[in-house]
Each structure stands twice: as C-alpha cells, then as structure tokens.
Structure 1
Amino acid sequence: MKNVILSLLVLFFSLSVRAGEKFTVLQWNIWQEGTVVPGGYDAIVNEIVRLKPDFVTFSEVRNYHSTRFCDRIVASLKERGETYHSFYSDDTGLLSRYPIADSTVVYPLHDDHGTVHRMLTEIYGRKIAVYTAHLDYLSDAYYNVRGYDGSTWKKIPKPESIAEVLAVNDASFRDDAIKCFIKAARKDVENGVMVVLGGDFNEPSHLDWIRETKDLYDHNGMIIPWTVPLLLDNAGFVDAYRTVYPDVLSYPGFTFPADNPLIKVNRLTWAPESDERDRIDYVFFYPDRRLKLKDAVLFGPKGSIRKSERIVETSKDRFVEPLGVWPTDHKGVLVTFELVE
C-alpha cells in the first residue's frame, strides 16, 4: 500500500506546476512552407530539431501537398525523434510539444485576408492558450510611406499626411482579425488561462515608428500609430521583443525583408528603391503573475535588404543564426518564458 501511495505522489508532483520551468515560443513566417527556397522544407525540419521550441507559430502555411503541412512536418519531426502535436490549419499553423486539448478557428481565411487560430494545452498543470496569426498582406500602408502602393506595389506619390496613411491602413482586414483575437483571449484570461500570440502581422509597430526614428528607414518624417500593435497594447497585451529591448535605435528588431543568398534580391523586396526594413513578426503575451518573460532573440540571418542592396545589420540585435539553408524572406522571433509560483 505504501508503494502505491508513493507512486501516486510521484505522479502528482510530476504533473503539477514546477516553478522555474522555461518554455520557448518561435514565431516563424516560412514563406509558403519554404517551397520558394530550394531545400526549404528540410531546413524548417532541421532548425526545429536543433532549437526544440516548445511552440512554433507558423505563418504562410499553404498546404500545397496532398497532406496538410502541419501533419507532414509532425511526421518528419517524428522520423527525427522529435514529438510534436498540431491541428487543422490554413495560412497559419502551430506546433506544440504538449498534447492539444482544444483548437479553434478564431478568424477564418477568406480571400487571403489573414487568419487567427487558437490552441489550448497544459504546461505542468497550467493551462495556456497559444494563438497563431498571419494577417492581411494587402493595403500595407508602410509601403505607401515609401512611395509604393501597398496593394499592387507600384510606384505612387508619397502621402502627405499620417491621416492619408491610416486611411490606406484601415482598408485592410488586420484590425478585424486582431479584434477577434482580443475577444477570444479575454475569455481565456477570465478563465485563468495564460495567453501567448505569435504572428506575422504585416504591419509595423507604433513602438517603432516614433520621434527618434521618424527620419530613419525611409519613414519620411512620419510618426505613425500603427493600429494592430496599438490595439493589442491598449487591450493589455505585451510585445515581448520590445519589452526586452525598449531601445528602438539600438535594437530595431527588423524581421523583414531578410536577406537570403539562395534567392535573387528582386524576389526579396517589394519596394526596390526604398528601405523597407520593418519589424512585422511578433510574439505578444498577456501579463500574468504565473508567467515571466525571460528573453527574446531574432532567429535568422543578420543580413537584410535595403534599397535592393544586401546589407549586414550592425545593430545590437541578438541573433540565432541558421546552420544551413534559410527557408524564408523573414526573420523569426524566439521568446523564452519562465513559469513562476
């Protein structure tokens, strides 16, 4: 009888909360499943095996093959000795090291205007909802600031006012999608569930287009309250990277466009004569006394594309660089959290 009780106690404590345990979230736009880059799919598998993130929030999942991308990649990872779980997805995808209790389509794909998916699981007895988003890539007003139409990417006159920029920005479906996320995530928070969101928002941050940067990166003197990150900020959600690195000048955190030696420059940039470097891939979370933000780094090459030139960033941004083929035109964001009592 003593042995039975001891075994049950061991099982209980192994499943209960363990303060100090860390977990990682990787946001990664994989550029149509890496199919644009030779060897891209294998590179995605290789890097996940190397980094072993607890959660991966994918953007640009296209499901080109007869099986869905996340099903394929789970099978490929299993062949390499790594166990992950996933769910139905389109445009966005998600991998979890923990069994999935529930999954929901929060904002469905329609006419390629973006998606938001939700996954619920448990980490050491604590429920966590991980959301993945890939928002509307049309009406990208940050191109307009640089003299390019954000829908057709043709040359246009640069806007004369911030109101003009925001009017173009409002034509996208990004705000609609993120409002759906906020509504769903609030229910999670009310139910005591921790919340993390990873995504390619296709929109810069109001924390980056500020007075100190208004004459940099072809911002053309504009200080713009970009709406998606601002909506999240106002709803109480926290931008992990900018929290770790509040100094925008030293740590710009550019995630797009990333240089890729296997692809011609004209396929890596939409505004050939402009400096379109921006931070558009994010990990957000809801502040929770049980959850501590520990670290955030960029994942990808140090190279970027600036005015159709390949450059190496000289900022203080920290990088986890790829070991081989880089499968995308974005840089990812790898964030580390710690569970606390």
Structure 2
Amino acid sequence: MPSVRPLRPDLVLALLAALAFSSLGTMGAWAQETPAPQRDRPDSLTVMTYNVLYATPDTGTVRAIEAVDPDVVALQEISEPRLRHIADELDYYFHHSDEHEANEEDTGLLSRYPISRPTRYGALLYLTVDDPIRIANVHLSPYPYEPYALRDDEMTPREAVAQARKTRSPEIKPVLDALSKSVQEDVPAFLMGDFNEPSHLDWTPAAAEAGLHLGLEVPWPTSRAVTERGFRDAFRVAHPDEVKRPGYTWTTLTGDPDEVHDRIDFIYVAGASVSVETAYTVGLRDASPTDRSVSGYPSDHRSVVTTVSLAPSPSDP
C-alpha cells in the first residue's frame, strides 16, 4: 500500500473494498476494487516508463521520478519489495504484476490514482468514478538483441526482422488482444515499457541516409504490430523527425563508439480523447543526448515521459 497517511472519509469504503478484493487473490501486490471518487476529471496526464535496472539504489530511482512528478509510472526490472518501498517514499498507489508472456515478474505500476482493477498486463485506473483509463506495462525479451547482431554482421536486416518476430510477437500479441476492447470502445489506453526492440519509425530510409542505426533501414515488427492496432508512438508524435530527434533510450552507461544507441523504451497511446502534448527522455547526458538530466541517474536505460491532454468525456456536463 502507499505510505501511511490519514485517510479521507471518502477513501475508507474504497479501502475496505480493496482489502476484501485482495483476500480473493489478486494478480499483484496491492489492488483497490472500488475507485475513490474524484470531483473533477483532470485535463492532462503525465506518464513515465522507466527500466530501473536490477539492484540499483532506490535513492536514485526516487530522485528521477521526483524530477518528473508523473501521475503514472510503468517500471521494469523492479521487485515487489522495491516497488513497495518506492511507493511509500513517493506516496503512490502501486501494483506489482505476476509473470506473464510479456514480463518475467519484474514489472510494476505506480499511480496517483487508485488502482481499481489490476489486470494480467497492468491495471485499470479511474480518473473519476466514470472515467477509466487502461494501462499495460511490458518488459519483452532482450535476447537475441538484433541490433548487436546487425552490427556484428551476424544477421541481415531480413533475418533480424524474422528473429524479432519469432521472439517478441508471441509476447506482445496477447497484450494487444487484451487491450483491443478498450481501443475499440475508445477508452484511453497506454501501452508502456521496455520493448528491447527498436522502432520501424526510427530505422527509416532517411535515418539510414543520415548514417544513423548502422546505415540500415529495418521494418521492426513489434512497433509495427502495436501501431497497426490503433496505438500512436507518443515520442514520435511529439518529435516526428527521426533524424533530428532520435530519442535514444539505450544506453546511458557507455560511450563506446561500437555501441548501438537506440530507442527501445516506448509509450504508446490510444483513444480519440488523448492528445500528445510533450514527450522527452530522462537520464544522463554523459554518453549521448538526453532531454532532461538527473544527477546520479542510476539506470542503463533512459526513461521516457509524455504528457497528454484529455478531452472531456461524454459524461462530463
């Protein structure tokens, strides 16, 4: 649960419902069945995806999240005890996911809004009693890592695409299937995480001509599968020029000239009421450009942050 604090009267019933629900065996560390009523629907939402790196100190992770002050954070490489501690430090609700196709029991969510219904791949949050949003959080397989195989001439682009499809399509498909109803019903949906695969929106002819990404054009399959299901890549919506704004999230830890810097951490959004306002990376500036630098940033991945505006829901007066 979040850190100890006085409960508002309107939260007491919600908390009791949460305890009853958790006794039935939820898919995660903490859940709240009935959302606490919110008076007004927010007109914007800031979300963050952040691979925190196993065994890094929580102080740096907390500092990075505090610098952004997001409403929702999707974390990867996070244990349940660490997630609980960070939630206590920052006063967030939290949910730790069980193992499934798209993670190895190392993903978790932080939220300023009650986590009303944990799901296999994330959670349903309520901004008000009538305004749900769907959050999914993934950590896809890192191996084989095709960009390194391309760098080392171990694969052709065609072989890299085939291998990526073989490795990650079985992981991402059930997540997209689970989100399809929300997308079809125009419920705001966010698919976030460490995909361990670049984007077809980055390894383009223009980027190859500019000498980026090993000078190769590669139609990476996972990002294509996601966008074909109605999701938009928030960073590319905000920064459509993949040459001027490559948006690298991998990696912060090396200046090795043979390193393949890339964008493998994503925030995808869906829903007609959701408009991307800003998107940026958070990390260190030592090895390659980042948008916001945080002292002592501990992870080997840059995090990604986006702020979206939310159009009024049909139920709003």
TM-score (norm 2): 0.78
Tell me what 2:30 maps to: none
Measured against aligned partners, the alpha-carbon deviations of 1:82-104 in whole angstroms (never above 9, x if no partner) come to x2111233211110100111112
Tell me what 1:92 maps to: 107
Question: Is 2:71 the partner of 1:71?
Answer: no
Task: Check whether the contact 1:140–1:168 (CA below 8 A) recurs between aligned residues.
Answer: no
Tell me what 1:303 maps to: 286
Tell me what 1:181 maps to: 175
Specify the code of the residue in structure 2 equivalent to 1:247: D
Question: Is 2:63 the partner of 1:46?
Answer: yes
**Which of 277, 301, 310 is the matching residue for 1:330?**
301
Question: Is 2:244 the partner of 1:250?
Answer: yes
Question: Is 2:189 the partner of 1:195?
Answer: yes
Shift of 1:226: 0.4
Partner Cα separation in structure 2 for residue 291 and residue 215 of structure 1: 33
**Which SS does the other structure have where 2:279 is aligned?**
strand
Partner Cα separation in structure 1 for residue 62 and residue 136 of structure 2: 21
User: Cα distance 1:216–1:171, how it changes in 2: closer, same or farther (>3 A)?
Assistant: farther
**Which of 206, 210, 220 is the matching residue for 1:212?**
206
Measured against aligned partners, the alpha-carbon deviations of 1:1-35 in whole angstroms (never above 9, x if no partner) come to xxxxxxxxxxxx962435xx221001111011xx2
Question: Is 2:124 the partner of 1:130?
Answer: no
Q: Which has the larger radius of gyration?
A: 1
Task: Check whether the contact 2:183–2:230 (CA below 8 A) recurs between aligned residues.
Answer: no
Measured against aligned partners, the alpha-carbon deviations of 1:249-289 in whole angstroms (never above 9, x if no partner) come to 11000000114xxxxx4xxx8xx662300000110011x23
**Which SS does the other structure have where 1:228 is aligned?**
helix
Task: Check whether the contact 1:217–1:276 (CA below 8 A) recurs between aligned residues.
Answer: no
User: Cα distance 1:145–1:216, how it changes in 2: closer, same or farther (>3 A)?
Assistant: farther
Question: Is 2:51 the partner of 1:29?
Answer: yes
**Which SS does the other structure have where 2:134 is aligned?**
strand
Question: Is 2:246 the partner of 1:222?
Answer: no
Query: Any stretches of 5+ residues in structure 1 without a counterpart?
Result: 1-12, 78-82, 106-116, 148-156, 260-264, 305-311
Partner Cα separation in structure 2 for residue 206 and residue 139 of structure 1: 18
Tell me the percent identity: 29
Specify the code of the residue in structure 2 equivalent to 1:162: P
**Which of 112, 121, 126 is the matching residue for 2:125?**
121
Tell me what 1:151 maps to: none
Tell me what 2:311 maps to: 340
Specify the code of the residue in structure 2 equivalent to 1:230: R
**Which SS does the other structure have where 1:143 is aligned?**
helix
Shift of 1:239: 0.1
Partner Cα separation in structure 2 for residue 158 and residue 59 of structure 1: 29
Shift of 1:51: 2.4
User: Cα distance 1:166–1:189, how it changes in 2: closer, same or farther (>3 A)?
Assistant: closer
TM-score (norm 1): 0.73
RMSD: 2.1
User: Cα distance 1:303–1:340, how it changes in 2: closer, same or farther (>3 A)?
Assistant: same
Specify the code of the residue in structure 2 equivalent to 1:330: H
4+ residue stretches of structure 1 with deviation over 6 A?
none
Shift of 1:135: 0.5
Tell me what 2:268 maps to: 284
Task: Check whether the contact 2:202–2:246 (CA below 8 A) recurs between aligned residues.
Answer: yes
